[in-house]
Structure 1
Amino acid sequence: MEVIVVDGDSAGATIREIRDTRNGIVQTVLSEKGRGIQFNRGASLAKGEILLFLHVDTRLPAGAFKKIAAAMKDRQIIGGAFRLVIDSRRHPFRVIEKFVSYRSRYLGLPYGDQGIFVRKTAFHALGGFRNVPIMEDLDLMRRISKRKGRLVILDDPVVTSARRWEQEGILYCTLRNWCLVLLFLLGVPSEKLLKFYPSSRTAPFPSPVKESPSASSPFKA
């Protein structure tokens, strides 16, 4: 196992917070700002066969790596994610969690804060995350589904921060997110959707990465 922390801050503010490098297991690197860009940077350095993309404010369940490895023994499975739990005791979050579970299991569209994992060969065959300002996670999951790739949603929960909902208001944040997802699935470019999202992602984004030729794809035809 290896841990690669990719910091989009040129000053390395996140990296400076790391106190435990696990005897060199934790590798740190600076990158241009942008979640897709940062994920791709980390993936380019990874040596393992399975990539796990973890947001800094999301905690994995106990034994997460063993559970991922067990699920991926099925060679038909391209990737997956965990069940989402939001770090708050407030009842509205339980409703949100149920909706997320339905969307993930029946539509095959887990969010990035659910701890997305994917085979490295499949990830690179797709061209990785596209360099888009938002919805890079749903974009990747949709491309996997279009290639007939199977996804698995593990019942073990990841716990993610409730910070954004609490700052913006639970109802507003939830309805805004649902509308953005719907518009994205209807084909509205994520660049246009960005103006409805908080201004934390303001760095310029280069042209999208092209997918690798289909002949090299590990997906079923």
Structure 2
Amino acid sequence: MEQSLTIIIPTLNAARSLGGVLAACAEAGAEVVVADGGSTDGTAELARAAGARLVAAPRGRGSQLAAGAAAAGGDWLLFLHADTRPAPGWAAAVRGFMAVPGNAGWAAHFGFALDDAAPAARRLERRVAWRCRVLALPYGDQGLLLSHAFHDALGGYRPIPLMEDVDLVRRIGRHRLSVLPVAALTSAERWRRDGWRRRSARNLACLSLWFLGVPPRLIARLYS
């Protein structure tokens, strides 16, 4: 019996990018849940028009991801950011992973790619590939696929304001994490706006503070 899939997308004023993500999601013919944190830019209307199920959630990515998972009806869950589009062919890769019985206790993520031709983007992609290969630390903009049962056994996403992706990946563990043979394309707007080096340095500082045990609410102040 084929396993069902729910795609969960947290949003907050994401109308500029959400349409492309929802179009990419159509490749799988899966249930789509948009967990919205109070958008005022037409995000909700766009989600409904695309046939997604809209769920209102307390603002904050961790809280929104948790709310989306609670509303999901699929045997498997795929968490995606609202500015991250899986590349063509992603649905076959996801279905292939889901079809392996032993993967019910594993999770998988996409490769990381940016929608920018700048050399700085290629350098960042290589650093992210190293981080995933050596440290087993994919971020939320690489998506996360895992069975609904495994997600629930892990306790799912915690309602924390930042580092919710690292928190869950650490609970999954490096020996239960796999990379899918397809990339997800993420908007480079944040790096272009903040500066490639500055944005990357800030992300690294947040990760370091997390491992030092600094509360996520304090890290969120630095991040924002």
TM-score interval for Structure 1 and Structure 2 normalised by the shorter chain: 0.7 to 0.9
Shift of 1:167: 1.2
User: What is the alpha-carbon distance in structure 2 between the residues aligned to residue 169 and residue 11 of structure 1?
Assistant: 27
| Percent identity of paired positions between Structure 1 and Structure 2 | 38
2:91 is aligned with 1:91: no
User: What is the alpha-carbon distance in structure 1 between the residues aligned to residue 85 and residue 204 of structure 2?
Assistant: 23
Shift of 1:46: 1.2
> Of Structure 1 and Structure 2, which has the larger fraction of its residues in helix?
2
For residues 43-122 of structure 1, the aligned pairs below 5 Å read 43-72=69-98, 73-76=100-103, 78-122=106-150
Query: Which amino acid in the other structure matches residue 3 of structure 1?
Result: V
Q: Deviations over 1:151-184 (max 9, x none)?
A: 1112311100011111111111011111211221
2:169 is aligned with 1:141: yes
2:47 is aligned with 1:18: yes
User: What is the alpha-carbon distance in structure 2 between the residues aligned to residue 91 and residue 11 of structure 1?
Assistant: 35
Q: Which runs of 5+ in 2 are unaligned?
A: 1-29
The one of 200, 206, 210 aligned to 1:184: 210
Q: Which runs of 5+ in 1 are unaligned?
A: 199-221
Change (3 A) 1:159 1:89: same
Query: Which amino acid in the other structure matches residue 102 of structure 2?
Result: R
Alpha carbons 1:4, 1:28 under 8 Å: kept: yes
User: What is the alpha-carbon distance in structure 1 between the residues aligned to residue 96 and residue 112 of structure 2?
Assistant: 20
| TM-score for both structures, normalised by structure 1 | 0.81
| 1:42 corresponding residue in structure 2 | 68
Shift of 1:149: 5.2
User: What is the alpha-carbon distance in structure 1 between the residues aligned to residue 139 and residue 49 of structure 2?
Assistant: 28
Alpha carbons 2:89, 2:182 under 8 Å: kept: no
Change (3 A) 1:81 1:173: same
Question: What is the CA RMSD across the aligned residues, in angstroms?
Answer: 1.8
Change (3 A) 1:12 1:129: farther
| 1:6 corresponding residue in structure 2 | 35
User: What is the alpha-carbon distance in structure 1 between the residues aligned to residue 200 and residue 97 of structure 2?
Assistant: 30
| Structure of higher RCO (CA pairs closer than 8 Å, 6+ residues apart) | 1
Q: Secondary structure at the residue paired with 1:71?
A: helix
Q: Secondary structure at the residue paired with 1:17?
A: helix
Shift of 1:78: 1.2
| 1:162 corresponding residue in structure 2 | 188
Change (3 A) 1:190 1:66: same
Q: Deviations over 1:66-117 (max 9, x none)?
A: 2112123151451111011011001011111111111112222110000111
| TM-score for both structures, normalised by structure 2 | 0.80
Q: Secondary structure at the residue paired with 2:74?
A: coil
User: What is the alpha-carbon distance in structure 1 between the residues aligned to residue 41 and residue 68 of structure 2?
Assistant: 15
Alpha carbons 1:7, 1:13 under 8 Å: kept: no
